[in-house]
Amino acid sequence: MRIVDLPSELLYLIGSDLNQEDIRNLISTSHQMHSLFQRKPYTKVILKNQNASTAQIFLYTVARNPELAACVKSLALAGWETSEDSDLEEVYDDAWLALLIPRLTGLRKTGFEWPFGSSHVIKMLCKAAINGGNCLPHLEEVSMCWYDMENAVDSYQMHPFFEFPSVRKVSGWKVAESAKEEEEEEEDFELVRNEILKDVSLPPRCSNIMDIDLSETNAAEGMREWIQACKTLKFFRIIHGGGLISYDDLQPRKLYNSLSLHKSTLEAIWVEADEHGSNGNNDDEGMGSFVDFSALKLLRLSLYNLIVFDDQGSPTRKISDVIPSSLEILFLDIAWEGFCDALKDLADIATSGKFSKIAALHIETSNELSSPEKDEKVEWLQHRCREVGVACHIYNRRSRDYWEDIRLWHSLWTQCEAEDLTYSC
């Protein structure tokens, strides 16, 4: 039997496992295959500057075929042309995208690798937000990253998505509340950007977004505007980006004050200082008590942000006094000396019954040289946890297995989708 003689349902199941290039080749083989699979290449679209001819065909096709435009569920855009002097035939021209994105009415997920100088797309998004996001009624997830290895995309450029009623999750990589200014930034673009900024401030409780996931990101004001814009925030992660992103240090206290607006709804909080990028000036700043965060199940912090240490380096309060009884997973970044100080408290958290829902302790530390005494402390804590059925994972940054351990972290919280547009879409 020839493959073309198979039932259409079976052909479609076979085609569902093919990649985009194979699908395009299959479509070109016959009218039957074209009719059956013509919409599939349009469900997940990744447009990068390396495949300009493919992108050009896509843009012209969806403009002329609204039924194909409605098939696009996932769209990733990277490196489009932003120069006002460019030919309108350019694939990535900022103005073209501003006209075409609203045509993708079935879009559910999109990612932007934001280029320097874009103005038409952000203006379009601002207008769409004012109109209630009706042009993209099914959009649920948005990710944005900066195009370069240094500096960052300004956080305000994601503000319009907070006013799209359908959006539930935003992700960012190399985002900053006060991004570094380009030294050679053109004055006319600066005026345009300031004019846009006036129109994109977020009122409190305007957004249905429940999940904010930020990597290599600096929050000079604790992401206050984003967080207070959410009606019900459930998941929040920020991994600090350091000096390459902006001039701002980690701001633990400001983050805590912002997150405190959602004490009754937050289920997972992850705050991580980038080891290589952080200036470190505020790394030890205390955040405050999480006892009243009644829905919290996962908490990942530095120990030194969770409990305050005195001038002699001794803790001024216990971990068990500042975490909620609802907690299921506690992940702490602790220097080895801090681990020794907190050893009994960690064991009590696992065994006392006060935290009846606790299922796992994750401890990241830096134990440069192993010794019988140090190994004994680790084994003692893990043994106490095993006795009550609580998992206890100790990650040693100096260990050769450390990078393997990171795979386990991703079971707690997967990679930030904005880090890779291909991954996100």
Rounded to whole angstroms, the Cα distance separating 101 from 166 reads 16
pLDDT tens figures, 101-140: 898 999 999 999 988 777 888 889 999 998 888 999 999 9
Would you state the pLDDT for residue 328? 98
pLDDT tens figures, 4-15: 666 666 665 666
pLDDT tens figures, 257-269: 999 999 999 999 9
Q: Structure pTM? A: 0.87
Instruction: Say which amino acid occupies 137.
Output: P
Is the pLDDT higher at 408 or at 183? 408
CB 330 within 8 A of CB 311: no
pLDDT tens figures, 223-247: 999 999 999 999 999 999 988 898 8
Half-sphere exposure of 231 (CA within 13 A, CB side): 10
Is the predicted pLDDT of residue 184 greater than 60, yes or no?
A: no
Domain ranges of the chain: 1-38
Is the predicted pLDDT of residue 185 greater than 70, yes or no?
A: no
Q: What is the mean pLDDT of residues 146-151?
A: 87
Is the predicted pLDDT of residue 204 greater than 50, yes or no?
A: yes
Would you state the pLDDT for residue 94? 74
Backbone angles phi, psi at 229, to 5 degrees: -75, -20
